[in-house]
A and B are shown apart, each in its own frame.
Chain A
Amino acid sequence: MSDPIRDLKGELLAAAERRQRHAALGSAGVARTSRRRWLERSHVQGRRRHLVALAAAVLVVVVGTASAFGGVRAFFLDRGFVGLAPLGATPSTPESGELEIFYKVDPSSWEPPGGWKPGAGRTLGRSLNWVYADGRLIWVRGDGFLEQRLTPEGVELMRSEILSTGEFGDEVPEPGGPPCAEGESPSDGDCQLPTPPPAPDKPLTVPFYTTIEVAGLGRLVHVDRARDLEHLEARLSDPASWLPESAWVDREVRAYVPSTYAVCYGGWPPDQPIEPSRLLTLLPPAAEDLLGAKDTTRKEGLFGSPGDFHVVVDHCSDVTNEEAHMLAQVFDDAGFEPFMPASRLGYRFETPGQNEKNAQIYFEPYLPHGEVICSVCG
C-alpha cells in the first residue's frame, strides 16, 4: 500500500542513521588526528586539514550527484502568492489604472444579537478591494493579492450597488451618464444602468473600520451611511455571488503581479525611531548599496488604540521584482530572520545596543493607481 508519510519517515530515519555513522567515523578520525598531533608539525596539520576538506567536498559532490531529484515541482499562479511574485511572472496590465471604487469590508465583524452563528460569513473576513476603470478588480485578504476582470457593465453594477444603498452626506457623486435604453449596456456608450430601488430599512452610519468609496466629484467620495450595510458588505465581499456572467471579462481568479514593489524599512517600537541612514548601514553591503542609491519616501502609519496612537515611520524605495528578489537573497544569505505575516515578505534584523531584532524591512506591491498599502495592518 502506498503511504507517503511512512515512506518519508523511512527516508528520514535512514538519513539520520547515515549522518550518525558519518559523525562516528568523523569522531574516530578526530581522535586519530589528535594522537598524531603530538608528532606532527603545524604545517603538516595544515596540509591534513586541506586534504580532509577536499575529501568532504568530493563526498558532497558524489552524494549530490547520486541522489539528484528529477521531480522538483513548479508553482502555478492560480492563487495569491506569499511574498514576492516569482521571477519572470507577467505583471498585471496596464501598469497604471484609474481607481473607480475602493472598499474595505469585513462581514465577519458582524456580531449578531445572541452571538456568533457557525458558518455565517466566516470564510470571508476582512478584505481590501480596488475596482479600476479598466475593469480590474484587485483585492487582498490573507492569502495575497488577487485579481479578476470585470466588463464596463460589471464596474457599473458594482458602482450602482453602492449608490443604491449608500448615503453621502452633502456630497453626491456625479451621475455616470443617462439611463441605458433597453438592451443597451454601459459598454455601448456612456449610459448608466437603472439604479435598483433603495432598501426600505433605516440607513446605518458606516463604522470606522469599514470604508466604501466611489469615484465622483472628481475624486473618491466616502459612503457615510448605508441601508442594509450588512447585505452590502456581503455582496461587495463576494461579487461573484451576484454579478451576472456579462459582468465578467474573466471570472478566473489570478494572482495580482505588480510592476513595482516598495521596499520599506523602519525601527520598532514606534516610540524608539531609528534614523533611516543608520538602518541602511545595518544592512548587508549589497542591499545598502542598492537602497542607498535610490530615492526614499516617508511612509507614516498609526499604531495603538484611540487616545494612545503612535506614529510609525518607515522609509520606502521603489524596486523592480528582480531587484526585490536580489535583496531577499541578500537578506537570506546574511541570516536575516524572515517573517510572513499574511502575504507580506519581511525580515527582522538587529540594531546594535538592542536585545531584540527590532528593525524590519519588508516588501509591499504597488497598486495600479500608485498606492502602497499596509497589507497586514488591522
Chain B
Amino acid sequence: MKNEKQRSDTELLLAARTCSEPFGVFYERHFASVLAFFRRRVPGPEEAFDLAAETFAGALASLPRFEPGPEPPQAWLFAIARHKLSEARRSSRIQDEARRALAMQPIQLDDEAIEILETMARAPAIELLDTLAPEQREAVNAHHLEERGYAEIAAELRCSESVIRKRVSRGLAVLHAQFQEGEI
C-alpha cells in the first residue's frame, strides 16, 4: 500500500471520502499556496487565514461531489478558493458557512500565529511571484499554480494564447533571473 504522502492529489481526495488522514495530507500539500493566493488579495493575514480555512472546509464538504477529470485537483481547490473570495468581496465579509456546517471551532490568532501565517504566505517562490508585473504574475499563477491551460486563460482575458504564453514566458524569465542573482 502506498504511503499517504506518495499518493497523487486525486488518490488522496478519493481516499478521503472514507478516511480522514488523506485529507490532512492534501491540506498540508496545498495550504501554503492557498494562503498565499488569498494573502495577495486581501488586506491582512487574519482574512487570508479565514478564507483559506473556509476553502478547505468547503473542499471537505464537497468531497462526495469531487469527480476526477482532466483538470488536476489543484484546479478544483482553487476554483473553490476563487468562489470564496468572490463571495467575500461581494458581501464585504468572510463567510463561515462551510466551517459552521462542519461544526468546526474557530481558531484564535495571536501574534505568534499571525507571524507563522505571514512567514508561510511569504515563502520564497511566492514572494518572488509577487515581484512580477501584475499581468505576468496573473498569467504565471493561472498557468503554473492553478494549472489552467493557455486557451482557458486567454478566453477569460479575451486575448490571444500567444499573449498569455508571452506573459508566462517573460514572467518565468524574470523569476529565473532573480534566482540566478540570488535575490531570495
Contact = CB atoms under 8 A, between A and B. Distances in A.
B159 A377 contact: yes
A31 interface: no
Given A125-B136, A378-B157, A76 B43 contact: yes
A86 B177 contact: no
12 contacts: A5-B31, A72-B93, A86-B89, A86-B91, A116-B170, A116-B173, A118-B181, A125-B134, A143-B41, A312-B158, A329-B90, A342-B135
B177 A74 contact: no
Interface of A: 1-5, 7-9, 11-20, 60, 63-64, 66-76, 78-79, 81-84, 86-89, 106, 108, 115-119, 122-126, 141-143, 268-269, 301, 303-305, 312, 325, 328-329, 332, 337-342, 345-346, 374, 376-378
A368 B170 CA distance: 34
Contacts of B132: 122, 125
Nearest to B148: A339
Interface of B: 16, 18-21, 23-24, 27-28, 31, 41-43, 46-47, 49-50, 52-53, 56-57, 60, 79, 82-83, 85-96, 99-107, 109-110, 112-113, 116-117, 120, 131-138, 153, 155-160, 162-163, 170, 173-174, 177-178, 180-181, 183
Contacts of A78: 43
Q: By DSSP majority rule, is chain A's interface helix, strand, loop, or mixed?
A: loop
Contacts of A75: 42-43, 47, 88-89, 92-94
Contact of A338 (B86, B153, B174): B86
A83 B86 contact: yes
Contacts of B89: 75, 81-84, 86, 345
Given A67-B104, A83-B86, A122 B135 contact: no
A14 B131 CA distance: 38
Contacts of A301: 158
- Identify whether the interface residues of B are mostly helix, strand, loop, or mixed: helix
Nearest to A108: B133
Nearest to B163: A378
Contacts, number: 216
Contacts of A12: 23-24, 27, 56-57, 60, 102, 104
Contacts of A73: 46-47, 50, 93-94
B133 A5 contact: no
Contact of A122 (B60, B92, B96, B131): B131
Contact of A15 (B102, B133, B138, B158): B102
A87 B92 contact: yes
A116 B83 CA distance: 36
Contacts of B96: 69, 72
A193 B25 CA distance: 64
B135 A2 contact: no
Nearest to A325: B90
Given A18-B103, A68-B100, A69-B99, 8 more contacts: A70-B106, A73-B47, A82-B86, A118-B181, A123-B133, A269-B155, A374-B158, A377-B157
A252 to B, nearest CB: 14
